[in-house]
Structure 1
Protein backbone atom coordinates (compact mmCIF):
# COMPACT_ATOMS: atom_id res chain seq x y z
CA UNK A 1 0.00 0.00 0.00
CA UNK A 2 1.48 3.32 -1.06
CA UNK A 3 1.64 6.22 1.37
CA UNK A 4 1.49 9.97 0.92
CA UNK A 5 4.06 10.22 3.70
CA UNK A 6 2.24 13.09 5.40
CA UNK A 7 1.45 13.53 9.09
CA UNK A 8 -2.17 14.49 8.37
CA UNK A 9 -5.32 12.52 9.16
CA UNK A 10 -6.76 13.08 5.66
CA UNK A 11 -3.56 11.79 4.07
CA UNK A 12 -3.43 8.84 6.48
CA UNK A 13 -7.05 7.97 5.68
CA UNK A 14 -6.34 8.13 1.96
CA UNK A 15 -3.33 5.88 2.49
CA UNK A 16 -5.88 3.23 3.50
CA UNK A 17 -8.95 3.91 1.33
CA UNK A 18 -7.71 6.21 -1.42
CA UNK A 19 -6.88 3.59 -4.04
CA UNK A 20 -9.21 3.02 -6.99
CA UNK A 21 -12.11 0.65 -6.21
CA UNK A 22 -11.51 0.60 -2.45
CA UNK A 23 -14.42 2.82 -1.42
CA UNK A 24 -16.68 1.09 -3.94
CA UNK A 25 -15.93 -2.22 -2.21
CA UNK A 26 -16.95 -0.54 1.04
CA UNK A 27 -20.11 0.74 -0.68
CA UNK A 28 -20.99 -2.82 -1.71
CA UNK A 29 -20.51 -4.22 1.78
CA UNK A 30 -22.54 -1.39 3.31
CA UNK A 31 -25.34 -1.86 0.77
CA UNK A 32 -25.51 -5.65 0.78
CA UNK A 33 -23.99 -6.80 4.04
CA UNK A 34 -21.64 -9.79 4.10
CA UNK A 35 -20.88 -10.90 0.54
CA UNK A 36 -19.28 -13.77 -1.29
CA UNK A 37 -16.39 -12.90 -3.56
CA UNK A 38 -18.59 -13.55 -6.60
CA UNK A 39 -21.27 -11.20 -5.24
CA UNK A 40 -18.70 -8.45 -4.87
CA UNK A 41 -17.50 -8.97 -8.43
CA UNK A 42 -21.05 -8.76 -9.78
CA UNK A 43 -21.60 -5.50 -7.90
CA UNK A 44 -18.36 -3.99 -9.19
CA UNK A 45 -18.63 -4.20 -12.99
CA UNK A 46 -15.29 -3.49 -14.60
CA UNK A 47 -13.00 -4.63 -11.80
CA UNK A 48 -10.41 -7.29 -12.61
CA UNK A 49 -10.58 -10.32 -10.34
CA UNK A 50 -6.92 -10.04 -9.32
CA UNK A 51 -7.40 -6.36 -8.42
CA UNK A 52 -10.45 -7.17 -6.30
CA UNK A 53 -8.43 -9.84 -4.48
CA UNK A 54 -5.62 -7.33 -3.88
CA UNK A 55 -7.98 -4.67 -2.54
CA UNK A 56 -9.69 -7.13 -0.21
CA UNK A 57 -6.32 -8.24 1.17
CA UNK A 58 -5.37 -4.60 1.77
CA UNK A 59 -8.68 -3.90 3.52
CA UNK A 60 -8.22 -6.98 5.69
CA UNK A 61 -4.68 -5.92 6.59
CA UNK A 62 -6.00 -2.47 7.54
CA UNK A 63 -8.64 -4.02 9.81
CA UNK A 64 -11.60 -2.79 7.76
CA UNK A 65 -12.77 -6.12 6.33
CA UNK A 66 -12.81 -9.63 7.75
CA UNK A 67 -13.84 -13.06 6.54
CA UNK A 68 -16.49 -15.31 8.02
CA UNK A 69 -18.05 -18.63 7.08
CA UNK A 70 -21.55 -18.50 5.66
CA UNK A 71 -24.16 -20.27 7.81
CA UNK A 72 -25.10 -23.85 6.84
CA UNK A 73 -25.97 -25.25 4.40
CA UNK A 74 -24.03 -22.70 2.33
CA UNK A 75 -20.35 -23.59 2.03
CA UNK A 76 -18.80 -20.23 1.24
CA UNK A 77 -16.57 -17.55 2.68
CA UNK A 78 -18.16 -14.16 3.21
CA UNK A 79 -16.47 -10.79 3.41
CA UNK A 80 -17.89 -8.32 5.91
CA UNK A 81 -16.99 -4.93 7.30
CA UNK A 82 -15.50 -4.70 10.76
CA UNK A 83 -16.77 -1.99 13.10
CA UNK A 84 -13.88 0.16 11.91
CA UNK A 85 -14.86 -0.44 8.29
CA UNK A 86 -18.54 0.27 8.98
CA UNK A 87 -17.40 3.61 10.37
CA UNK A 88 -16.89 4.68 6.76
CA UNK A 89 -20.66 4.83 6.20
CA UNK A 90 -20.87 8.61 6.85
CA UNK A 91 -17.99 9.08 4.41
CA UNK A 92 -19.83 7.14 1.71
CA UNK A 93 -23.02 9.10 2.45
CA UNK A 94 -21.18 12.42 2.19
CA UNK A 95 -19.56 11.40 -1.10
CA UNK A 96 -22.96 10.30 -2.37
CA UNK A 97 -24.52 13.66 -1.57
CA UNK A 98 -21.57 15.52 -3.08
CA UNK A 99 -21.90 13.45 -6.25
CA UNK A 100 -25.64 13.97 -6.78
CA UNK A 101 -25.20 16.97 -9.14
CA UNK A 102 -22.87 14.82 -11.25
CA UNK A 103 -25.82 12.49 -11.99
CA UNK A 104 -27.38 15.09 -14.27
CA UNK A 105 -25.75 13.59 -17.34
CA UNK A 106 -26.55 9.92 -17.84
CA UNK A 107 -24.08 8.02 -20.00
CA UNK A 108 -25.72 5.04 -21.72
CA UNK A 109 -22.60 2.92 -21.22
CA UNK A 110 -22.70 3.34 -17.44
CA UNK A 111 -23.43 0.16 -15.50
CA UNK A 112 -26.17 0.11 -12.88
CA UNK A 113 -27.15 -2.25 -10.07
CA UNK A 114 -30.47 -2.04 -8.26
CA UNK A 115 -28.93 -2.21 -4.80
CA UNK A 116 -27.11 1.06 -5.49
CA UNK A 117 -30.48 2.73 -4.86
CA UNK A 118 -29.98 2.13 -1.13
CA UNK A 119 -28.05 5.39 -0.82
CA UNK A 120 -30.66 7.67 -2.47
CA UNK A 121 -33.40 5.85 -0.53
CA UNK A 122 -31.59 6.72 2.69
CA UNK A 123 -30.82 10.26 1.52
CA UNK A 124 -34.16 11.35 0.09
CA UNK A 125 -37.12 9.24 1.23
CA UNK A 126 -39.15 9.57 4.42
CA UNK A 127 -42.35 8.08 5.80
CA UNK A 128 -44.69 11.07 5.69
CA UNK A 129 -47.65 9.07 7.03
CA UNK A 130 -46.23 7.04 9.92
CA UNK A 131 -49.67 6.29 11.39
CA UNK A 132 -50.77 4.35 8.32
CA UNK A 133 -50.28 0.57 8.06
CA UNK A 134 -46.96 -0.57 6.63
CA UNK A 135 -46.63 -0.40 2.85
CA UNK A 136 -44.09 -1.51 0.26
CA UNK A 137 -43.01 -0.43 -3.21
CA UNK A 138 -41.23 -2.72 -5.65
CA UNK A 139 -38.72 -0.92 -7.86
CA UNK A 140 -37.72 -2.45 -11.19
CA UNK A 141 -34.75 -0.62 -12.67
CA UNK A 142 -31.75 -2.22 -14.28
CA UNK A 143 -30.84 -5.82 -13.61
CA UNK A 144 -32.59 -6.48 -10.31
CA UNK A 145 -35.64 -5.55 -8.27
CA UNK A 146 -35.55 -3.93 -4.86
CA UNK A 147 -38.33 -3.21 -2.39
CA UNK A 148 -38.80 -0.02 -0.38
CA UNK A 149 -40.71 -0.46 2.88
CA UNK A 150 -42.41 2.29 4.90
CA UNK A 151 -43.43 1.37 8.42
CA UNK A 152 -44.06 3.49 11.53
CA UNK A 153 -41.99 6.44 10.36
CA UNK A 154 -39.09 4.42 9.01
CA UNK A 155 -38.10 3.79 5.39
CA UNK A 156 -35.83 0.89 4.47
CA UNK A 157 -34.83 -1.06 1.38
CA UNK A 158 -34.36 -4.77 0.78
CA UNK A 159 -33.08 -6.70 -2.20
CA UNK A 160 -35.25 -8.94 -4.34
CA UNK A 161 -38.76 -8.93 -5.75
CA UNK A 162 -42.02 -8.84 -3.81
CA UNK A 163 -45.16 -9.88 -5.72
CA UNK A 164 -47.27 -8.69 -2.78
CA UNK A 165 -45.92 -5.12 -2.80
CA UNK A 166 -48.55 -2.39 -2.67
CA UNK A 167 -47.09 -0.72 -5.77
CA UNK A 168 -44.53 -1.42 -8.48
CA UNK A 169 -42.47 1.27 -10.19
CA UNK A 170 -40.74 0.31 -13.44
CA UNK A 171 -38.41 2.40 -15.56
CA UNK A 172 -34.83 3.22 -16.53
CA UNK A 173 -32.44 4.03 -13.67
CA UNK A 174 -32.10 7.78 -14.38
CA UNK A 175 -35.86 8.26 -14.30
CA UNK A 176 -36.28 6.18 -11.16
CA UNK A 177 -33.51 8.15 -9.46
CA UNK A 178 -35.09 11.45 -10.50
CA UNK A 179 -38.39 10.31 -8.97
CA UNK A 180 -36.86 9.08 -5.71
CA UNK A 181 -34.75 12.20 -5.30
CA UNK A 182 -37.53 14.69 -6.01
CA UNK A 183 -36.17 15.81 -9.38
CA UNK A 184 -39.43 14.63 -10.95
CA UNK A 185 -42.89 14.47 -9.44
CA UNK A 186 -44.86 11.25 -9.84
CA UNK A 187 -47.22 12.59 -12.51
CA UNK A 188 -44.38 14.04 -14.58
CA UNK A 189 -42.33 10.87 -14.23
CA UNK A 190 -45.29 8.89 -15.57
CA UNK A 191 -45.64 11.32 -18.47
CA UNK A 192 -42.00 10.58 -19.29
CA UNK A 193 -42.61 6.85 -19.40
CA UNK A 194 -42.17 5.64 -15.83
CA UNK A 195 -44.78 2.95 -15.15
CA UNK A 196 -46.57 2.75 -11.81
CA UNK A 197 -48.97 -0.07 -11.00
CA UNK A 198 -50.87 -0.59 -7.77
CA UNK A 199 -51.23 2.03 -5.05
CA UNK A 200 -50.05 5.50 -6.04
CA UNK A 201 -50.66 6.51 -2.42
CA UNK A 202 -47.97 4.07 -1.27
CA UNK A 203 -45.49 5.74 -3.63
CA UNK A 204 -46.46 9.30 -2.68
CA UNK A 205 -46.17 8.39 1.00
CA UNK A 206 -42.37 8.25 0.82
CA UNK A 207 -41.40 10.63 -1.99
CA UNK A 208 -39.74 13.96 -1.16
CA UNK A 209 -42.21 16.77 -0.62
CA UNK A 210 -41.97 20.09 -2.46
CA UNK A 211 -39.65 22.59 -0.82
CA UNK A 212 -37.58 20.02 1.07
CA UNK A 213 -33.79 19.84 1.06
CA UNK A 214 -34.06 16.69 -1.03
CA UNK A 215 -35.53 18.64 -3.92
CA UNK A 216 -32.74 21.20 -3.70
CA UNK A 217 -30.03 18.55 -4.17
CA UNK A 218 -31.90 16.24 -6.54
CA UNK A 219 -30.49 15.45 -9.98
CA UNK A 220 -31.83 17.82 -12.61
CA UNK A 221 -34.65 16.57 -14.79
CA UNK A 222 -32.19 16.29 -17.66
CA UNK A 223 -31.04 13.07 -15.98
CA UNK A 224 -34.46 11.59 -16.59
CA UNK A 225 -35.04 12.87 -20.10
Structure 2
Protein backbone atom coordinates (compact mmCIF):
# COMPACT_ATOMS: atom_id res chain seq x y z
CA UNK A 1 0.00 0.00 0.00
CA UNK A 2 1.46 3.33 -1.05
CA UNK A 3 1.59 6.22 1.40
CA UNK A 4 1.15 9.92 0.79
CA UNK A 5 3.96 10.48 3.31
CA UNK A 6 2.15 13.42 4.88
CA UNK A 7 1.72 14.14 8.59
CA UNK A 8 -2.00 14.94 8.23
CA UNK A 9 -4.91 12.89 9.54
CA UNK A 10 -6.72 13.06 6.18
CA UNK A 11 -3.66 11.77 4.34
CA UNK A 12 -3.07 9.11 7.01
CA UNK A 13 -6.69 7.96 6.67
CA UNK A 14 -6.42 7.81 2.88
CA UNK A 15 -3.26 5.75 3.24
CA UNK A 16 -5.55 3.10 4.77
CA UNK A 17 -8.88 3.49 2.94
CA UNK A 18 -8.02 5.43 -0.21
CA UNK A 19 -7.34 2.47 -2.47
CA UNK A 20 -9.94 1.52 -5.09
CA UNK A 21 -12.72 -0.75 -3.75
CA UNK A 22 -11.80 -0.41 -0.06
CA UNK A 23 -14.68 1.85 0.95
CA UNK A 24 -17.10 -0.19 -1.15
CA UNK A 25 -16.04 -3.29 0.78
CA UNK A 26 -16.85 -1.35 3.94
CA UNK A 27 -20.23 -0.43 2.42
CA UNK A 28 -21.02 -4.10 1.76
CA UNK A 29 -20.05 -5.27 5.24
CA UNK A 30 -22.03 -2.44 6.83
CA UNK A 31 -25.08 -3.44 4.78
CA UNK A 32 -24.79 -7.21 5.18
CA UNK A 33 -23.01 -7.73 8.48
CA UNK A 34 -20.58 -10.67 8.70
CA UNK A 35 -20.41 -12.13 5.20
CA UNK A 36 -18.89 -14.94 3.18
CA UNK A 37 -16.29 -14.05 0.59
CA UNK A 38 -18.74 -14.92 -2.19
CA UNK A 39 -21.40 -12.60 -0.72
CA UNK A 40 -18.95 -9.70 -0.51
CA UNK A 41 -17.89 -10.33 -4.10
CA UNK A 42 -21.50 -10.48 -5.33
CA UNK A 43 -22.02 -6.96 -3.97
CA UNK A 44 -18.98 -5.66 -5.86
CA UNK A 45 -19.68 -6.32 -9.55
CA UNK A 46 -16.57 -5.65 -11.60
CA UNK A 47 -13.95 -6.52 -8.98
CA UNK A 48 -11.42 -9.23 -9.80
CA UNK A 49 -11.39 -12.04 -7.25
CA UNK A 50 -7.64 -11.71 -6.63
CA UNK A 51 -8.00 -7.97 -6.04
CA UNK A 52 -10.80 -8.54 -3.52
CA UNK A 53 -8.62 -11.06 -1.70
CA UNK A 54 -5.76 -8.54 -1.64
CA UNK A 55 -8.01 -5.76 -0.34
CA UNK A 56 -9.44 -7.95 2.42
CA UNK A 57 -5.92 -8.93 3.53
CA UNK A 58 -4.86 -5.28 3.58
CA UNK A 59 -7.96 -4.27 5.54
CA UNK A 60 -7.37 -7.10 7.99
CA UNK A 61 -3.77 -5.98 8.48
CA UNK A 62 -5.02 -2.42 9.08
CA UNK A 63 -7.46 -3.62 11.75
CA UNK A 64 -10.59 -2.81 9.74
CA UNK A 65 -11.72 -6.37 9.04
CA UNK A 66 -11.58 -9.60 11.02
CA UNK A 67 -12.28 -13.21 10.08
CA UNK A 68 -14.53 -15.49 12.08
CA UNK A 69 -15.96 -18.95 11.66
CA UNK A 70 -19.65 -19.20 10.82
CA UNK A 71 -21.68 -21.08 13.44
CA UNK A 72 -22.68 -24.69 12.66
CA UNK A 73 -23.87 -26.18 10.40
CA UNK A 74 -22.27 -23.68 7.99
CA UNK A 75 -18.57 -24.37 7.68
CA UNK A 76 -17.08 -21.26 6.15
CA UNK A 77 -15.14 -18.13 7.01
CA UNK A 78 -17.01 -14.89 7.53
CA UNK A 79 -15.56 -11.41 7.15
CA UNK A 80 -16.80 -8.73 9.54
CA UNK A 81 -15.93 -5.15 10.32
CA UNK A 82 -14.04 -4.49 13.52
CA UNK A 83 -15.07 -1.55 15.68
CA UNK A 84 -12.46 0.47 13.83
CA UNK A 85 -13.91 -0.55 10.49
CA UNK A 86 -17.50 0.03 11.59
CA UNK A 87 -16.50 3.55 12.62
CA UNK A 88 -16.32 4.32 8.90
CA UNK A 89 -20.12 4.11 8.78
CA UNK A 90 -20.42 7.85 9.18
CA UNK A 91 -17.94 8.40 6.35
CA UNK A 92 -19.93 6.11 4.05
CA UNK A 93 -23.17 7.86 5.03
CA UNK A 94 -21.85 11.35 4.31
CA UNK A 95 -20.14 10.28 1.08
CA UNK A 96 -23.35 8.63 -0.09
CA UNK A 97 -25.44 11.66 0.79
CA UNK A 98 -23.00 13.94 -1.02
CA UNK A 99 -23.32 11.69 -4.07
CA UNK A 100 -27.13 11.72 -4.25
CA UNK A 101 -27.26 14.50 -6.91
CA UNK A 102 -24.93 12.40 -9.08
CA UNK A 103 -27.56 9.64 -9.20
CA UNK A 104 -29.27 11.60 -11.98
CA UNK A 105 -26.57 10.16 -14.23
CA UNK A 106 -28.06 6.68 -14.71
CA UNK A 107 -26.87 4.30 -17.40
CA UNK A 108 -28.93 1.23 -18.35
CA UNK A 109 -25.93 -1.04 -17.85
CA UNK A 110 -25.16 0.30 -14.35
CA UNK A 111 -25.06 -2.56 -11.84
CA UNK A 112 -27.45 -2.44 -8.88
CA UNK A 113 -27.82 -4.44 -5.68
CA UNK A 114 -30.75 -4.33 -3.28
CA UNK A 115 -28.60 -3.60 -0.22
CA UNK A 116 -27.54 -0.34 -1.84
CA UNK A 117 -31.00 1.03 -0.98
CA UNK A 118 -29.98 1.00 2.69
CA UNK A 119 -28.42 4.45 2.40
CA UNK A 120 -31.40 6.12 0.66
CA UNK A 121 -33.69 4.55 3.27
CA UNK A 122 -31.56 6.08 6.04
CA UNK A 123 -31.27 9.45 4.35
CA UNK A 124 -34.79 10.02 3.08
CA UNK A 125 -37.37 7.84 4.83
CA UNK A 126 -38.86 8.35 8.29
CA UNK A 127 -41.76 6.97 10.29
CA UNK A 128 -44.22 9.86 10.34
CA UNK A 129 -46.81 7.87 12.29
CA UNK A 130 -44.87 6.12 15.06
CA UNK A 131 -48.03 5.35 17.02
CA UNK A 132 -49.37 3.13 14.26
CA UNK A 133 -48.90 -0.64 14.16
CA UNK A 134 -45.68 -2.05 12.67
CA UNK A 135 -45.78 -2.42 8.89
CA UNK A 136 -43.58 -3.56 6.05
CA UNK A 137 -43.06 -2.61 2.41
CA UNK A 138 -41.53 -4.98 -0.11
CA UNK A 139 -39.46 -3.15 -2.72
CA UNK A 140 -38.69 -4.81 -6.05
CA UNK A 141 -36.08 -2.63 -7.74
CA UNK A 142 -35.16 -4.22 -11.04
CA UNK A 143 -34.36 -7.84 -10.21
CA UNK A 144 -33.49 -7.07 -6.58
CA UNK A 145 -35.92 -7.42 -3.66
CA UNK A 146 -35.66 -5.93 -0.17
CA UNK A 147 -38.08 -5.18 2.63
CA UNK A 148 -38.53 -1.91 4.53
CA UNK A 149 -39.78 -2.34 8.09
CA UNK A 150 -41.49 0.51 9.94
CA UNK A 151 -41.99 0.26 13.68
CA UNK A 152 -42.29 2.79 16.51
CA UNK A 153 -40.45 5.59 14.77
CA UNK A 154 -37.76 3.39 13.22
CA UNK A 155 -37.31 2.58 9.54
CA UNK A 156 -34.97 -0.25 8.59
CA UNK A 157 -34.13 -2.39 5.58
CA UNK A 158 -33.56 -6.13 5.29
CA UNK A 159 -32.61 -8.30 2.36
CA UNK A 160 -35.02 -10.79 0.85
CA UNK A 161 -38.78 -10.87 0.31
CA UNK A 162 -41.82 -10.79 2.62
CA UNK A 163 -44.99 -12.51 1.38
CA UNK A 164 -46.91 -10.81 4.19
CA UNK A 165 -45.77 -7.26 3.39
CA UNK A 166 -48.47 -4.59 3.71
CA UNK A 167 -47.46 -3.06 0.38
CA UNK A 168 -45.29 -3.86 -2.61
CA UNK A 169 -43.47 -1.34 -4.83
CA UNK A 170 -41.98 -2.48 -8.13
CA UNK A 171 -39.99 -0.39 -10.59
CA UNK A 172 -36.52 0.44 -11.95
CA UNK A 173 -33.92 1.65 -9.41
CA UNK A 174 -33.90 5.30 -10.62
CA UNK A 175 -37.68 5.51 -10.20
CA UNK A 176 -37.46 3.97 -6.72
CA UNK A 177 -34.79 6.49 -5.72
CA UNK A 178 -36.84 9.39 -7.10
CA UNK A 179 -39.82 8.23 -5.02
CA UNK A 180 -37.78 7.77 -1.85
CA UNK A 181 -36.03 11.13 -2.22
CA UNK A 182 -39.30 13.04 -2.63
CA UNK A 183 -38.55 14.03 -6.22
CA UNK A 184 -41.50 11.96 -7.41
CA UNK A 185 -44.86 11.57 -5.70
CA UNK A 186 -46.43 8.16 -5.33
CA UNK A 187 -49.21 9.12 -7.76
CA UNK A 188 -46.71 10.41 -10.32
CA UNK A 189 -44.56 7.31 -9.89
CA UNK A 190 -47.57 5.13 -10.67
CA UNK A 191 -48.34 7.33 -13.65
CA UNK A 192 -44.83 6.67 -14.93
CA UNK A 193 -45.21 2.92 -14.76
CA UNK A 194 -44.23 2.03 -11.19
CA UNK A 195 -46.40 -0.80 -9.88
CA UNK A 196 -47.89 -0.46 -6.40
CA UNK A 197 -50.05 -3.03 -4.64
CA UNK A 198 -51.38 -3.15 -1.11
CA UNK A 199 -51.66 -0.25 1.31
CA UNK A 200 -50.67 3.10 -0.14
CA UNK A 201 -51.16 4.56 3.33
CA UNK A 202 -48.30 2.44 4.63
CA UNK A 203 -46.06 3.72 1.83
CA UNK A 204 -47.04 7.35 2.46
CA UNK A 205 -46.21 6.79 6.13
CA UNK A 206 -42.48 6.76 5.32
CA UNK A 207 -42.10 8.95 2.25
CA UNK A 208 -40.54 12.43 2.67
CA UNK A 209 -42.92 15.20 3.65
CA UNK A 210 -42.75 18.58 1.97
CA UNK A 211 -40.10 20.81 3.51
CA UNK A 212 -38.41 18.06 5.53
CA UNK A 213 -34.67 18.86 5.45
CA UNK A 214 -32.31 15.97 4.82
CA UNK A 215 -29.71 17.66 7.04
CA UNK A 216 -31.66 16.57 10.12
CA UNK A 217 -30.76 12.96 9.39
CA UNK A 218 -27.94 11.51 11.45
CA UNK A 219 -25.22 9.08 10.34
CA UNK A 220 -25.58 5.43 11.36
CA UNK A 221 -23.73 4.36 14.47
Q: TM-score range by the shorter chain?
A: over 0.9
How many angstroms does 1:214 deviate by? 3.8
1:69-103 deviation per Cα after TM superposition (whole angstroms, max 9, x unaligned): 11111011000000000000000000001100100
Contact 1:166 1:202 survives alignment (8 Å): yes
TM-score, normalising length: structure 1: 0.94
- Partners of 2:81 and 2:131 lie apart in 1 by 35
Question: Which residue of the partner structure matches residue 38 of structure 1?
Answer: 38
Question: Which residue of the partner structure matches residue 118 of structure 1?
Answer: 118
Counterparts of 1:147-186 in structure 2 under 5 Å? Answer: 147-186=147-186
1:177-219 deviation per Cα after TM superposition (whole angstroms, max 9, x unaligned): 111111111111111111100000010000000111249xxxx
Contact 1:181 1:214 survives alignment (8 Å): no
- Partners of 2:133 and 2:150 lie apart in 1 by 9
Question: Which consecutive residues of structure 2, in runs of 5 or more, have no partner in the other structure?
Answer: 216-221
- Partners of 2:129 and 2:72 lie apart in 1 by 40
Supply the RMSD in Å over aligned alpha carbons. Answer: 1.0
Counterparts of 1:1-225 in structure 2 under 5 Å? Answer: 1-214=1-214
How many angstroms does 1:143 deviate by? 2.9
SS at match of 1:74: coil
- Figure out how many residues of one structure are paired with residues of the other and give that number: 215
- Partners of 2:214 and 2:186 lie apart in 1 by 15
- Partners of 1:121 and 1:19 lie apart in 2 by 27
Contact 1:147 1:160 survives alignment (8 Å): yes
Contact 1:208 1:214 survives alignment (8 Å): no
TM-score, normalising length: structure 2: 0.96
Question: Which consecutive residues of structure 1, in runs of 5 or more, have no partner in the other structure?
Answer: 216-225
SS at match of 1:40: helix
- Partners of 1:123 and 1:173 lie apart in 2 by 16
SS at match of 1:19: coil
